[in-house]
Amino acid sequence: MPSITFIDSKGTSRVIDAEVGSTVMETAIRHKVPEIVAECGGACACATCHVYVDEAFMPIVGKPQAMEEDMLDFAYDVKPNSRLSCQIKVTAALDGLTITTPDRQG
Amino acid sequence: MSAAIETDVVIIGAGPVGLFAVFELGLLDIKCHLIDILPMAGGQCAELYPEKPIYDIPGHPTVTGQGLVDRLLEQSEPFKPTFHYGEMVEAIEVLGDGSAPLFRLRTDIGKTITCKAVVIAAGGGSFQPKKPPIPGIEAYEGTSVHYAVRKMEAFRDKHVVVVGGGDSALDWTLNLQPLAKRMTLVHRRDDFRAAPHSVNAMRDLVASGQMDLAIGQITGLDGADGHLSAVDLKGADSSVSRIACERLIPFFGLTMKLGPIANWGLNLTENLVAVDTEKFETSTPGIFAIGDINSYPGKLKLILSGFHEGALAAQRIHRYVYPEKRLTFQYTTSSTSLQRKLGVA
């Protein structure tokens, strides 16, 4: 299983084995990773699963689609590597990915 | 101003679960008032995902959030519920006791409603405007920083900065631009969700020099004694510039907060209202919680779970509203009396 490291805003990191086919958000919620709220449950209808993707992985993870880009308007401190974690599907290629969470989600 | 209202049941939250509770209570001759902070029925379905399909409503292979709300409104219509939109229940006063509950609710505009049972169907809590993470913004809220426009006159001859890229941001930019001394719209990217005609109208005003558009995010505020004088804008290239600003109106959408429910003396589990699974009653007899807001072992946050919870809560509520009557279980398919209530027999 691909392993994903979540680093929270205080610098604490958690390494989690993610299931291929689930999303990064689902992985985080299932393992009680803090700072990811996912108010809408993964419908890309809020912006409370906002994360920063490790720059090195940006080419693999890719850029947000138009709908996600719209929702990112509601997120805080959006950066070029900002994504909504409910829209990132876990694949084998994401093994070793590092995700950083912002200190607030609205 | 306060109006005193008396009814059987107050349902807090007019989302799908609250609306179906009207139906289940209505079949038992129980009258309902619904209170919701949003200006319309539907809760998250209407506010967060009106256009998105839902695939797990029994009997509806696919239905949009708004489609489901419209059908639930139609289904509860025979029971003539009263809706109080744009209001939030602030306080619940317990007047009765466990054998004969009675409550007095007060909303944020001072309306009071007396009822025999309360059903909290508040989903994720009440929708409130999101606040941008700008240090010290609280000091300016209500004086220079506003999350909604109540009186347009308050913005006349002021340097106004609107933040956001949706319809609210664009509509208020266009409405306030003629009044403002100078209008600046700030958005994090040069691409807008708002209706194309308002985006075009805004771009025309920018092109003719009648307002400014700034791409970036606001990082700091400058002012004194609650009166703002300027904001700092971090552009896409990370350069910081300063914009004169006496009124800041951020439109960052809505978020859900448990809000006043936390102060009603109910047992909570991780910010959710703890209930039993027989009646979905809280630790206060006569106050029930159904849908996403409640918590019990095995809880699933599905709309269909909320429907089930409402039906079971209604059985117990009947005992509080009609203590002298025995409740006979009936089916809508066969009971003429239920069909009469629905207006189909």
Residue A45: predicted pLDDT: 83
- Total residues found in chain B within this entry: 345
The pLDDT, as a whole number, for residue B256 is 79
Name the pLDDT band for A84 (thresholds 50, 70, 90). very high
Same domain, B24 and B122: yes
Is B54 at the interface with chain A, CB within 8 A? no
User: Residues B184-210: what's their mean pLDDT?
Assistant: 96
Q: How large is the average pLDDT for residues B177-205? A: 96
How many domains is chain A partitioned into structurally?
Answer: 1
- Closest-CA distance, B43 to chain A, in angstroms, reads 12
Say whether pLDDT at B330 is over 70.
yes
Question: How many Å from the N-terminal Cα to the C-terminal Cα in chain A?
Answer: 32
The residues of A whose Cβ lies within 8 A of any Cβ of B are 39-41, 43, 45-48, 69-70, 72-74, 76-78, 104, 106
Average pLDDT over residues B231-242: 92
Residue A40 counted as domain residue: yes
| Band of pLDDT at residue B136, cut at 50, 70 and 90 | very high
pLDDT band for position B2 (cuts 50, 70, 90): low
B62 and B119 share one domain: yes
Average pLDDT of chain A? 93
Q: Which of B223, B252, B281 is the last residue of a domain?
A: B252
Chain A residue numbers touching B255 (CB-CB < 8 A): 39, 46, 48, 106
Last residue of a domain, one of B252, B276, B301: B252
In sequence order, what are the beta bridge partners of B89?
Answer: B107
pLDDT band at B270 (very low <50, low <70, confident <90, very high): confident
B96-116 core/surface letters (b: 16 or more CB in 10 A; e: else): eeeeebebebbbbeebebebb
The mean pLDDT value for B138-167 works out to: 93
**E strand map for A20-103:** 50-53, 82-84, 97-100
Domain of A36, CATH number, reads 3.10.20.30
Q: How far is A13 from chain B (nearest CA, A)?
A: 23
- What is the average per-residue pLDDT within B160-189? 95
- pLDDT at position B3: 61
Q: Read off the pLDDT of residues B71-126 as tens digits, 9 standing for 90 and up.
A: 999 999 999 999 999 999 999 999 999 899 999 999 999 999 999 999 999 998 98
User: Of A63-77, B69-83, B230-244, which one has max mean pLDDT?
Assistant: B69-83
| Same domain, yes or no: B142 and B92 | no
Percent of chain B with pLDDT over 70: 99
- For testing contact with chain B, the best of A46, A49, A65 (most B CBs within 10 A): A46
Same-domain check for residues B110 and B136:
no
Residues B238 and B161 in one domain: yes
How far is it, in rounded angstroms, from Cα B291 to Cα B294? 6
Mean pLDDT of B54-74: 96
Do B259 and B224 lie in one domain? The reply is no
Residue B51 shares a structural domain with residue B96: yes
Q: Which domain holds residue B203?
A: 131-252
Output the pLDDT for position B121. 98
- Let me know whether B13 and B157 are in one domain: no
Confidence label for B130 from pLDDT (cuts 50, 70 and 90): confident
The reply to whether A12 falls in a domain is: yes
State CA B119 to chain mean position distance.
Answer: 16
- Where does a domain end: B199, B233, B252? B252
Q: What is the chain A residue with the closest CA to B130?
A: A106
pLDDT exceeds 50 at position A44: yes
Amino acid of residue B49: Y
Residues in A touching B130 (Cβ below 8 Å): 74, 106
* Residues B167 and B156 occupy one common structural domain: yes
* pLDDT exceeds cutoff 90 at B48: no
Chain A touched by B168 (CB under 8 Å): no
Note whether B13 and B94 are same-domain residues: yes
* Residue pointed to by tokens 């409550």: B103
CATH of the domain at B306: 3.50.50.60
Tally of domains within chain B: 2
Domain that holds residue A13: 3-100
Q: Summarize pLDDT for B277-318 with one digit per residue, the tens.
A: 999 999 999 999 999 999 999 999 999 999 999 999 999 999
pLDDT band at B150 (very low <50, low <70, confident <90, very high): confident
Of A40, A45, A74, the CB nearest to B252: A74
**Does residue A105 sit within a domain?**
no
Residue B1 has a pLDDT of 47
